[in-house]
Copies of this chain bind each other. A is one copy, B any other.
């Protein structure tokens, strides 16, 4: 996975567990793509301070994922549901019964994961 996508996903899931201050700076850097220097100046902290905060946030978020694996689980579910959705779009152009059987198989796989 691309680093930025991974960071965003981890933040989506576990961001609420960071402090308000960490969240604000993290969003500026990762989501809003503002430079370290600009953030440092704006918040009256050093460039190194911003760098350390981001590094620390990434570690906190990664530690939660290592323990809970919820991002991994959600990615699995999303992919399977997208497959189901893809299959439904083929309705009419392929045999509907075999299509339904494939959907059944995928939904079973998801339920085993939950």
Q: Are A114 and B74 in contact (CB under 8 A)?
A: yes
Residues of B contacting A85 in the complex (Cβ-Cβ under 8 angstroms): 104, 107-108, 111
**A110: Cβ under 8 A from any B Cβ:** yes
Q: Mark A93-114, 1 if CB is under 8 A from B, else 0.
A: 0001101110110011011001
Q: Are A81 and B67 in contact (CB under 8 A)?
A: no
CA distance A84 to B104 in the complex (A): 8
**A45: Cβ under 8 A from any B Cβ:** no
Chain A interface residues toward B at CB < 8 A: 13-14, 16-17, 64, 67-68, 70, 74, 77-78, 81-82, 84-85, 88-89, 91-92, 96-97, 99-101, 103-104, 107-108, 110-111, 114
